[in-house]
Each structure stands twice: as structure tokens, then as C-alpha cells.
A and B are shown apart, each in its own frame.
Chain A
Amino acid sequence: MTHDVVAEQTREQEARPERSECEGRAAILSTHGLVKDFGKLRAVDGLDMQVRAGDIFGFLGPNGAGKTTVIRLVLGLIHPTSGHAEVAGHRVPGELKEALRHVGGFVDDPTFYPLMSARRNLRLLGSMTGPVSEERIAEVLEIVGLSDRADSRVGGFSHGMKQRLGIAQALLHAPELVVLDEPTSGLDPRGMKDVRELIRDLGRGGVTVFLSSHLLHEVQQVCTRAVIIDHGRVVVQGSVAELRPQGLAVKVMTDDQTKAGGTARAMFGAGAVAEDDGYLVVQAGDDVPELVRRLVADDLAVRSVVPATDQGLEDYFLELTARGMRPPETEAPEPSEQVAPDPEVATPGDSVPSAEVAPPEGSAPSAEPGPPEDAAPPEDVAPIGRASPDDEESAPPVRAASPAPAAEETPPASWPRVTIVVERPGGAGQPETRVLRPAGAGDGSLPAGGDEASPPSPADSTAPPADRSAPASADGAAVPPVDRTEPVVTDRPGPGPTYRAAPSSASRVVRSPAYGALPVSVYRAAPGSLRAPVASSSPSPHSTEGRRR
């Protein structure tokens, strides 16, 4: 079958020279400024993406990101508010019927007529695209391993079997583009593996597979290119190799984890070592061989060193989707301009060049990005710092040694959580994050809960500065030297709260002269997530659930 598909594919490309070319390969599916509003809710917000012929394209996003809505738009089930999609050279909406001739797939769960047998369902659905031979039906049932249940009623099928049957009906006409919406959901591990191998086989055969998923490792295993969307917008798009965080952590198991932890901390800094389920999770980057050498040199018996891939990807995904929280670019850019020249924005250091600063989660101003007046004046910008997750629980992060600014003030109850990501220069552009809180933030001594709606008021600033982390100096001279082991937080003084995101939660990329072209993104976390007290460096602040929907 796959060989035929290759032939189909090639002929198709020859036959359709009008298709827009994308890096040498024709785009078989593309969206152009796709917008879909449901009432006041903007589910898809100017989505531009391109799936090239032959891709196994991962379509990632958290629940509610608009994945299924995009698929429905692309396949003409719903009509875009504006923009359009192009499928196999046909515009959708407009030439939907022609476009659908080249597509097989399902949206949401595959559905069938429960009283009919699997075979009859395939016959019925297949006949809507064109003639289907019984041999072909038997063939696709064989591919998905349902031959022995071909004549059973679908109503008695398990979810996983329906999922398989959904893939069978997608393949029925050997389409050039197969759109699968979370095809492995509800499958047992064996079934998942089968489906992934099937998708890889399809890809090898030249079929373009559009795989919607929220399982990162699935996309990582299967896909060649991927897009991550959140709130109906593209967060990042590219080849999966690019999307993967580069400095992957490894999980280490030795006979003496305490000692090994010491060795690892000595090498990479306390911030780069964590524990997970008995394993040491070490952000070793490319220095894994050296780590192992040292461990062995320290007379430790290394039992296993495994990549902590899932973890890295998950963090990365959460981080990316958190970035998607930003509202449209209409937000005021001033804060970033002010930050840009500040050398403090980036703390030099190559072990943990990124930091996420999390003020106490006492409250949230409002669920929607409010007008700038809603928050304290944004002349100042969130401080940048770095700290290890370990530090958050036990001790306040070490701050830059700088005098307290006159206008030091208590973190207002409405402090937003600030996430600052410093991207590694020259590195893979894979920002890492650390959750960081101002001193005292982790012990509940800071305002918490209850004041969600109240914007910072002048009264807030009268609270004792002791409650606050040590402020940093206004000038960049106080930046401490690079230290792998010492988490450093630098604060910039200002009239407003030190830890403040743009009131609009706009994301800004900051170029720091002190650290070369170091893009720094500053964004505010979901107000909803601010209500819970800060617990740890868990990714919860990035939780994207329930923010806009």
C-alpha cells in the first residue's frame, strides 16, 4: 500500500504545480490567517502553518488550545471567521469537496454506526469518497488488526478498536493526507506502539500525516515536523529536532545517590541537580561522559544513566504554551524597551542561563489581560535572576548584592507571577526555566489569596521591605560574577513592585548588552494560577487550563 502511496504522491505533486512551494516541497496543507470566533471567544487566532507533503506533522497543544477547532476548520466542518486553509491545492472553504478527496482521517473520536459491522461501516463511509472494493476493505482491516472482528457490530467495540477502525477508514482510499486527531488516545501500550509504527510506515510511504496530539513523546518519536499551538496561535513551528530541548537532562542511578548528588552539584551547580523518584536528574548538557567519569572516579557504581526526555519536553512544552498566554501584540512595548539596555536582565552563566521569577501567588488581578492602568505603572520591569528549584523551598534565593532602592515596597497582593526566560546564546535556542520567587515568598509570609481582583494600591507599598527580597541596585554594576553553584537574583529597583510583569502580560524579548544577543522573554502567568500559594518549581504556574475558556 505504501508503495502505491508514494506513486500517488509523486503523481499528485506533478499534477499540481500551482501548489505553493515551501522549502522545496509542496505544502499539502496550509492555513492562512485562520481566525475562528465562537461568540466572543477567539478559538483560533490568525493561525498560519504549513504542512509539507511527506511530513509526519505533529500538531501539539494543550487541551483547549484549539487543535480540534483547527482540524475542523481545515476539513471544512466549521467555517472560519476569516482566513482560509489550503488542502492539496484546494482552498477551504470554497473547494471543500475537491480538497476532501485527498484527505482521510477523523476528528475527535472516530464514529461509526453502532448497529453495523465494521466492514459495513467502512463500505458505507468509503462509498462517500468513491468506489471501494471489498478487497481494499479487507486490506485496511488487516492493517489495523481488526480482520477477525470485521463482521462484528461496531457498537460492541472498545474505544481502542474504534480508534483502529477510524484509522482504517482514513486509509481506505489511500489518501495523500491523513489527518488523525489523537489516534492513540484510549489505546493500550501495544496499540499505541502499533499506531505509531503504522504512522511511521505511512510516512515512509510518502503519505503526509497530520497527527494531532498532546503527547509530546509521541510527537517526538513519530513526527518530522511539528507545530505547537496555544490559544489558537502558533507558539512554535519547525522540525521536531529543532523543537526538542537541546540540553537534555539525564537521570542517574548509583549505589550512593547522596554522594553522587554531591559530585553532580560540584560539576553543574545545585540548580542543575534535582531528584526524581530516587533518580538524580542532572542537567548535564553535553557533559554526560564527564559526569559519568567523575562518578566512577568517585568510586560510585553507576547503575543507569537514562535521558530524562519526557521531563525535558514537558517542561519545554509547558514553557512554550505559557508563552502562548500573551495577548496579541497590541500590548505596549515600552517596558521591554526600558529593559533592553539593562545589563542585569541576563545573568551571565552557562549552566542555568535562564530563570523564572515567581512572585508570591497571593492574588491575580484579573483573568483577562487588563488595561495597563490595571496594574502598577510599568516603568519598571521584572527582575531577572536565577536560582535552583531546590533553593525555593529552603532558603530565599541569593540576591545580587546591591543597595535597597528607596522605593522598595512590599510585593502587592496582586503580584503577578513573572516568568523570565533567558535563551542560551548560540545554543539551541532552547530556553530553560527555573521558578524563582522573591525571598520569603515560599513560606507563606507573603500575601496570599483573597485579593485576586485588587490591583496594587499605594497602600501595598507600605509593607515592610523585610518581606521582600533584597533589592538590587538600579545600575548594572551589581551583577555578580558568573557562578554555577550560586543562584543569583538581581532586582532592579523602581517605584513599583520589583517583581512585576507587564500589566498586559505581554511577552517581550529583551536583548541584553551584557550577554550578547540574549533574548529574554518576560511574561506573566495565568492569574488563575496565582491563587494557590507558590509551592515549588512545579510547572503549575504555566498551567494553561481555564484561562480563556
Chain B
Amino acid sequence: MSPGGVCACPPTPPPERHAGESCHGSTRPAMRGAHHGPLHREWTKLLFTWRTYLIWGGLAAIPFLMALALYISDTGPGPGEGPHFMSRVLENGLYVPVSALAALLLVLLPLAAAVLGSYLIAGEAELGTLRAILLRPQSRGSLIVSKWVVAVLTLFVGLALVVAAGILFGALFFGLEPLVTLSGTTVSIAEGIGLIVLTALFALAAMACMISLALLFSTLTNSSLTALIATFVVFIVVQILVTFSFFDWLEPYVFSSYFGEYMNFFRDPIAWRPIGEALLVFGLWSAGLTALAWLVFRRKDILS
């Protein structure tokens, strides 16, 4: 911090003014450099957290461990037991990613989404960096949207790892066969992989709701753990509630009721209608919760 560092700077001639240019320091020619958008920044931040790699590693490990366990024991769950399609894994490795997705969608994927979502704002508040980034001329709205997008992107990478690892280890342990749909028809391996990718994307849309819910709680508290717990409590309470017939009326409005609609991809022909309905519900919930989070965050006093 030698003061000479300041004085030693050679006096550069004042830059020429350009019409419409604001005149603060960053517009000097010397300032010209790489300009990253908010998505790039948020992505960089995620890449510089251990949590992200834990989630990715965990998601990639699941299909491997599942395939390994089934391969070693050589006895799958009977039909109707365990996650969907699990009973068919022994005959066809292509069912590894499908059953992995089916298993993950119950708890682990929502958990990963809730972790990612709840860290978005509260995690930065805990770190103290929230006030640092809000001292920069960026709108809070763009911050929250880019954070949401990047969290979804992170899960996208995670789901891609599940699908890739599932297909890889399914092929290694059991070999890939043409996929038999729920309707009893057979589709080619390539078409089967296509269906699996669609299932993963469907899961991503479902998880976007979880991210939005966690994001909302993340703006309401300064503790990411509190946000995570709140998200999961709400998620589980709603899941339990809809099992009671008294709360049947609630079911169509709850996004978690639609998590199982990916099954319709494995009908022949694909039943697009329930899938479309599910995606509509996911979209409405994601948009609504994110908008709510933005409303909270927009006026929030940053005291962290």
C-alpha cells in the first residue's frame, strides 16, 4: 500500500468524452476490458464453492452405486417394489438412468435444489458479500433472476451427470437393450435415451419450483440453513397433507403432486397432456415464487 503507488501513476491525459457516455472512471479507455454479464458472474461464484461439486458428485454417484448394488446382489426388487423401473434394470442397463431419476426425484433432487436455492441470497448474506455486490450498480431484480437461472443450470449439469453416468454404468454392468415402454411396445436405444433426456428435463422443471421456493425463503432470512430447513419443512408438510383425503382438493395446486408425471414419457404414444399440465403448474409456481422472492428482496434492508 505504498502511497507512492498512487503518486507514481503517470498522469494520463483525460479521455475524450463520447456523447452519451457517463463520466465516471470506468469509462476511461484504460478501463476497457472483459465485461462479464450477471450470469457469468453467478456461474463463477458457483464454481468457486465446494457445495456445487458435492451436489454434482453425489448426483453422479447415485446411478453408479445403484447399478453396482444391483449387479453384485443380482436380485432386483420385484415388480412394483422400489422406484419405478428398478425391477427391470437387471435385464436392461437403459433402465439405470430412468430408475435413478425416479429415485432421486423423491427426496435427493428436491434436497439438492433446496440447498442451491437457499444459498442464493442467504448464502451471500452469511458471507457478507451480499452488501458488497449490492454496492455495485446492478439492479436487485437482475441479480435474483440470474441467480435463479444459474441454480437451475447447476441442477441441469447435475441431471446431465445422472443421465450420463446412468447410461454409462448401465451399459457397463448390464448392457443396453431396446426399451420396453409401459404400453408394452419397444422403442430403440436411441429413442429410449431421448425419453430419458426428456425425463431429466422434466425433473429439472420440477426442481425449478423447489429452487424458487428455497429462493423465497433465502430472501426472507440471512441464514441459508434456516432457508433450507424452511423449504424442506414446507415441502414435506405439503407432501404429507395431500395424502389425507381431507386435503384432496389441495392436490392439483401443489407442484409436488406432479413430480411423477414423467411416467407418461414411457407410454406409447407419449401422453403429452398430463405432462403439459405438470409443466404448466411448475412454470406457474416457479414464476410466482421467484416473483415473490424478488418483491421481498427488492425492498429488503441489507443488514448482513
Contacts A2-B7, A100-B135, A128-B136; A8 near B33 (Cβ below 8 A): no
Most buried by A among B40, B50, B131: B131
For A195, the chain B residues whose CB sits under 8 A away are 1
Query: Quick check: A131 and B32 within 8 Å, CB to CB?
Result: yes
Give which listed residue, B26, B40, B48, B139, contacts A129 with CB less than 8 A.
B26
For A197, the chain B residues whose CB sits under 8 A away are 3
Bound-state CA distance A197–B31 (Å) is 25
The smallest beta-carbon distance between B179 and chain A, in angstroms, is: 42
Query: Quick check: B136 and A129 within 8 Å, CB to CB?
Result: yes
B267-304 vs A: 1/0 string, CB under 8 Å? 00000000000000000000000000000000101110
Query: Quick check: A131 and B22 within 8 Å, CB to CB?
Result: no
Bound-state CA distance A127–B134 (Å) is 13
Stretch at the interface among A103-111, A243-251, A460-468, A495-503: A103-111
Bound-state CA distance A163–B276 (Å) is 53
Contacts A12-B23, A129-B136, A164-B1; A77 near B302 (Cβ below 8 A): yes
A306-331 vs B: 1/0 string, CB under 8 Å? 00000000000000000000000000
A3 touches B (CB below 8 Å): yes
For B40, the chain A residues whose CB sits under 8 A away are 127
Residue of B nearest to A190 (CB): B1
Query: Quick check: A77 and B135 within 8 Å, CB to CB?
Result: yes
Bound-state CA distance A78–B50 (Å) is 31
Query: Quick check: A201 and B41 within 8 Å, CB to CB?
Result: no
A205 touches B (CB below 8 Å): yes
For A15, the chain B residues whose CB sits under 8 A away are 23
Query: Quick check: B1 and A175 within 8 Å, CB to CB?
Result: no
A145 touches B (CB below 8 Å): yes
For A477, the chain B residues whose CB sits under 8 A away are none
Query: Quick check: A124 and B44 within 8 Å, CB to CB?
Result: yes
For B45, the chain A residues whose CB sits under 8 A away are 113, 124
The smallest beta-carbon distance between A69 and chain B, in angstroms, is: 9
Bound-state CA distance A240–B99 (Å) is 73
For A201, the chain B residues whose CB sits under 8 A away are 3, 6-7
Bound-state CA distance A62–B139 (Å) is 33
Query: Quick check: B32 and A133 within 8 Å, CB to CB?
Result: yes
Residue of B nearest to A166 (CB): B132
A115 touches B (CB below 8 Å): yes
Query: Quick check: A113 and B1 within 8 Å, CB to CB?
Result: no
Residue of A nearest to B42 (CB): A124
Query: Quick check: A143 and B131 within 8 Å, CB to CB?
Result: no
Residue of A nearest to B22 (CB): A101
Residue of B nearest to A194 (CB): B1
For A3, the chain B residues whose CB sits under 8 A away are 9, 11-12
Which residues of B, 1-36, contact A by the 8 Å Cβ criterion?
1-3, 5-7, 9, 11-12, 14, 17, 22-28, 30-36
Bound-state CA distance A372–B131 (Å) is 43
Query: Quick check: B128 and A72 within 8 Å, CB to CB?
Result: no
Give which listed residue, B25, B36, B48, B303, contacts A72 with CB less than 8 A.
B303
A390 touches B (CB below 8 Å): no
A392 touches B (CB below 8 Å): no
A375 touches B (CB below 8 Å): no
Bound-state CA distance A5–B132 (Å) is 23
For A111, the chain B residues whose CB sits under 8 A away are 127-129, 131-132
Bound-state CA distance A157–B48 (Å) is 16
Residue of B nearest to A141 (CB): B5
Which residues of A, 156-212, contact B by the 8 Å Cβ criterion?
164, 167, 169, 172-176, 191, 194-195, 197-198, 200-202, 205
The smallest beta-carbon distance between B147 and chain A, in angstroms, is: 13
B245 touches A (CB below 8 Å): no
B243 touches A (CB below 8 Å): no
Bound-state CA distance A201–B33 (Å) is 26
The smallest beta-carbon distance between B201 and chain A, in angstroms, is: 30
Query: Quick check: B3 and A128 within 8 Å, CB to CB?
Result: no
Which residues of A, 66-125, contact B by the 8 Å Cβ criterion?
72, 75-79, 96-98, 100-103, 105-116, 120, 123-125
B49 touches A (CB below 8 Å): yes
Query: Quick check: B6 and A198 within 8 Å, CB to CB?
Result: yes
Query: Quick check: B32 and A127 within 8 Å, CB to CB?
Result: no
For B38, the chain A residues whose CB sits under 8 A away are 128
Residue of B nearest to A145 (CB): B1
B73 touches A (CB below 8 Å): no
Interface size on A, residues (CB 8 A): 72
For A106, the chain B residues whose CB sits under 8 A away are 131-132, 135
For B35, the chain A residues whose CB sits under 8 A away are 127, 130-131
For B9, the chain A residues whose CB sits under 8 A away are 1-4, 139
Bound-state CA distance A79–B7 (Å) is 38
Bound-state CA distance A201–B6 (Å) is 7
For A98, the chain B residues whose CB sits under 8 A away are 137
Query: Quick check: B131 and A97 within 8 Å, CB to CB?
Result: no
The smallest beta-carbon distance between A146 and chain B, in angstroms, is: 8
B172 touches A (CB below 8 Å): no
Bound-state CA distance A160–B144 (Å) is 31
Contacts A2-B6, A3-B9, A106-B132; A133 near B17 (Cβ below 8 A): no
For B24, the chain A residues whose CB sits under 8 A away are 8, 12, 101-102, 173-176
Bound-state CA distance A127–B138 (Å) is 10
A488 touches B (CB below 8 Å): no
For B14, the chain A residues whose CB sits under 8 A away are 4, 7-8, 11
Give which listed residue, B27, B34, B127, B136, contacts A113 with CB less than 8 A.
B127
Query: Quick check: B31 and A130 within 8 Å, CB to CB?
Result: yes
Give which listed residue, A11, A173, A202, contacts B26 with CB less than 8 A.
A173
A148 touches B (CB below 8 Å): no
Query: Quick check: B302 and A72 within 8 Å, CB to CB?
Result: yes
For B137, the chain A residues whose CB sits under 8 A away are 96-98, 100-101, 128-129
Query: Quick check: A107 and B31 within 8 Å, CB to CB?
Result: no
For B27, the chain A residues whose CB sits under 8 A away are 130
Give which listed residue, B25, B138, B139, B303, contacts A4 with CB less than 8 A.
B25
Give which listed residue, B33, B128, B135, contacts A109 with CB less than 8 A.
B128
Give which listed residue, A77, A101, A131, A167, contacts B34 with CB less than 8 A.
A131
For A76, the chain B residues whose CB sits under 8 A away are 134
A478 touches B (CB below 8 Å): no
The smallest beta-carbon distance between A541 and chain B, in angstroms, is: 31
Query: Quick check: B36 and A145 within 8 Å, CB to CB?
Result: no
Bound-state CA distance A486–B44 (Å) is 72
The smallest beta-carbon distance between B7 and chain A, in angstroms, is: 6
Query: Quick check: A127 and B5 within 8 Å, CB to CB?
Result: no
Contacts A113-B45, A134-B33; A8 near B5 (Cβ below 8 A): no
Bound-state CA distance A64–B132 (Å) is 21
For B31, the chain A residues whose CB sits under 8 A away are 130-133, 136, 173-174
Bound-state CA distance A482–B303 (Å) is 54
Residue of A nearest to B41 (CB): A124
A368 touches B (CB below 8 Å): no
For A12, the chain B residues whose CB sits under 8 A away are 23-24
Contacts A111-B129, A133-B32; A103 near B135 (Cβ below 8 A): yes
12 A–B contacts from the bound complex (CB under 8 Å):
A77-B135, A79-B301, A101-B137, A106-B131, A111-B128, A125-B132, A130-B35, A131-B26, A134-B33, A143-B5, A194-B2, A200-B3
Could you list 6 further interchain pairs (A-B, Cβ under 8 angstroms) beyond the known A7-B14, A77-B134, A135-B30? Answer: A75-B135, A103-B135, A116-B44, A128-B137, A135-B33, A201-B6
Q: Which 3 A-B pairs have the closest CB atoms?
A: A174-B25, A133-B33, A111-B128
